[in-house]
Each structure stands twice: as C-alpha cells, then as structure tokens.
Amino acid sequence: MSGSSLDGLDIAHVELEEVRGEWGYNLLHAACIPYPAEWMERLQKAPQMSVPDFLRLHTAYGRYMGQLVNNFIDEHGLRHQVHFIASHGHTAFHEPANHTSFQLGDGASLAAVTGFPVINDLRALDIAYSGQGAPIVPIGDKLLFGDNDYMLNIGGIANITVRHNGTMLAFDICPANQVLNTLAERTGKTMDEGGAMAANGSLLNDILSELNDGNYYKLPAPKSLSNEAARELVFPKLLQSAHSNEDLLHTAVAHIASQVAEAVKHYPHGREKATMLITGGGAFNNHMVNVIEQALTPYNVDVFVPRPDVIKYKEAIVMALIGTLRWREDVNVLSSVTGAVKDSCGGALWVV
C-alpha cells in the first residue's frame, strides 16, 4: 500500500491464522520502497491530470507496483510461499458524498506482472453502499489489535478506531505527517526526525485556535478526509504564516494532540484506565507522542507504542487481513465505521 505521506510503497509478507474466531498474524518480511522523485511527482499531480493521462498513470503504477513486488519476492525467496497479493494502491481521489473514491494501481496489471492472484479496489463496495470507504483499517483493529480501547494511526492523516458501546467506530481526525513533513521540507529535511524542531518551538496560540476552528472538526462521525481536503483544512493557516518553522511545527503538533484528545473526549471509555495504541510514522515522533500523552492525561488514557515493525507496517498487515477476508468471502469493511447501509466484503479479484 501507499499512504498520503508518499514516503514509499509498503510491502509486507504476512502469515495469518484464524482459530475459532481468534485471529493472529506473523509479519515475516517487510520493506518500504522509497519513491523516486519522478513517481512522487506523478502521484502528487494525479488529481489534476486529464482523464487519459490519469488512466495511463493507473496502469503504469499497477505495473510499477508489480515490478517492486517481484523484486521483493525474489530478494526473500518467496516465489512458492505467496498465496495472493492484497493491494490498497494509492488514493488519488476521494469524494464519498458522490459515491466515488479511486485508488491508483491497476489490479489486472499487478496480476499480469507478478503472476499471482490480486485483490484490490478495497474501498469501492463500501462507497457504493453510501459509506465513507474510510478508515478501512478498523476491521484489523477489531480482529488483530482489539486489546486496546483506542487505536490511533498517525500517517499523512491521523485516524482513530474506538471501541464504543460494544461496537467499532472510526474516523479521520486531522491532517498529520503531511503537514509536519511539508514544514520540515522548508528547512531542507524530509521530516522533523523525532520532533526535534517542534520541541524547540513555541506555541502560537492564535494559529492553534484558528486550526482547531476548522469546519471539519464540527462534523459528526463517520467522516473522512481526502488529501486535498486535509491540505485545505490547515495548510493556508500554517504555510502563509511568517513565524519560524520551529514555532509552526510546535503548534501543528499541539493541534494534532488537541484533536486526538477531542476524539477521546467525544467517545469516553467509561473505565478507570484505558489504553491507546499508536502506530504509523508519527509514532516515531517522540515529541508528538509525549504531547499526545499529556493531552490525554485528564481522560485517564495510557499511550502504548508497539515494536518498530508494527508501527511501520500495521496498515500493510491489515491490508493482508482485508484481502484474506475477501478471499474467504467474509465481511472486511464495517458499516459502523464508515456509515454505509450495511457491512460489506469489498475487493476486486484478479485471477491469473
């Protein structure tokens, strides 16, 4: 899969086991293959392309993914160990209000290049059932990481899964790493490693108030953010400011933490003590994790950061699970999360 932060293509070799309804996983091999500048630019420009150019990119990206998967399989000697490929691809357009979302990466091309069955287009059926199609990870939160009360993923966009009144709820919280990375790039870095620059900054209270006043935050769940909507929500207030990058990074982190706390406040756990699992690239930002932990102190929530491979590849692990559930023709997208009219078993299957 490829996330909104565009750091690369995540590939994971995952073994899944189900015994009497209890699921477990084993992450056998994994890698994040960084995008060359050319591919990063093409994926960034995808929403503005003409229809013919967009379709050419869709096919080319499917073949490109296939080549990277083949390299991964050959590097680890997996040619006779792979059952099928589950591919999320890269979200290039997301407009659930009009029953539309599009993940780049043609499944037929991926199947043709690799020679393996492919399951892709994982969001489409939920969107057709009037759902948000996002977040898509909560089925994995339920079946693989369900020991936690809250499951926060901090990628380009931060999203959260909540156990609430016996069901699973989830929604996109706010823009996250795509904002922090863009600010860091102004200093010639690809990211604010460990949150060091943000930690040295000061809080800009006026800008924080403006950020927290975004219309999206007033909407009830289920809700989701496209990459474009996420940028429109916070980028103008930050990128058009004359303040130092350190102060802007510090304030952006405070904004993310305050929105995480608002989510917990809106969906209280009702227990003496609760736990929040944090994954995604943001889990490596020590400063941000500490700020989130402080913001959650009034709500009696302890933060838990898992081992590095789970942080990096949790979403890829869940894509393997979603593909497996589709293979078995079991539910793999939860309507309680997306707002769809019913649960669904989503994904197109390409058999070679």
Q: What are the tens digits of pLDDT across the range 292-330?
A: 999 999 999 999 999 999 999 999 999 999 999 999 999
**Smallest Cα–Cα separation from 39: which of 85, 72, 1, 6?**
6
Instruction: Determine contact, residues 276/304, Cβ cutoff 8 Å.
Output: yes
User: Alpha-carbon distance 227 to 3, whole Å?
Assistant: 10
Instruction: Determine contact, residues 252/235, Cβ cutoff 8 Å.
Output: no
**Smallest Cα–Cα separation from 230: which of 274, 300, 269, 180?**
180
| pTM of the entire predicted model | 0.85
Give me the chain's average pLDDT, please: 94
User: Alpha-carbon distance 39 to 351, whole Å?
Assistant: 27
H helices of the chain, in order, are 37-45, 51-76, 107-114, 124-128, 138-143, 177-185, 196-199, 205-212, 227-239, 245-266, 286-296, 308-328, 335-338
Tokens representing 276 are: 């929040």
Instruction: Determine contact, residues 65/57, Cβ cutoff 8 Å.
Output: no
Per-residue pLDDT for 134 more than 90?
no
Each residue's pLDDT tens digit, 98-107? 999 999 999 9
- Residue 6 — pLDDT band, cuts 50, 70, 90? confident
For residue 236, cis peptide bond before it (omega within 30 degrees of 0): no
User: Alpha-carbon distance 23 to 333, whole Å?
Assistant: 16
Tokens representing 2 are: 């490829």
Structural domains of the chain ordered from first start: 9-133+313-350 (3.30.420.40), 138-310 (3.30.420.40)
Quote the DSSP letter at residue 326.
Answer: H
**Smallest Cα–Cα separation from 237: which of 175, 282, 152, 172?**
175
Cβ-count burial 91-121 (b if 16+ within 10 Å, e if not): bbebebeeeebbbbbbbebbbebbebbbbbb
Per-residue pLDDT for 117 more than 90?
yes
Per-residue pLDDT for 4 more than 80?
no
pLDDT at 73: 98
- Residue 45 — pLDDT band, cuts 50, 70, 90? very high
Instruction: Determine contact, residues 61/40, Cβ cutoff 8 Å.
Output: no
Quote the DSSP letter at residue 144.
Answer: T
For range 180-201, the mean pLDDT: 95
User: Alpha-carbon distance 347 to 256, whole Å?
Assistant: 32
User: Alpha-carbon distance 60 to 66, whole Å?
Assistant: 10
Please report, as a single letter, which amino acid is at residue 46.
A
Each residue's pLDDT tens digit, 272-290? 999 999 998 999 999 999 9
H helices of 82-147, in order, are 107-114, 124-128, 138-143
Instruction: Identify the H or E element spanning 15.
Output: strand 9-19
Per-residue pLDDT for 118 more than 80?
yes
DSSP reduced 3-state for 306: coil
Which is more confident, 94 or 146? 94
Using DSSP bridges, classify how beta strands 85-86 and 118-120 pair: parallel, antiparallel or unpaired. Answer: parallel
pLDDT at 261: 98
User: Alpha-carbon distance 287 to 201, whole Å?
Assistant: 11
DSSP E strand stretches across 82-129: 85-86, 90-95, 100-104, 118-120
Per-residue pLDDT for 5 more than 80?
no
pLDDT at 213: 96
Q: Give, in degrees to the nearest 5, the angle at Cα 107 between 101 and 110.
A: 140
pLDDT at 165: 80
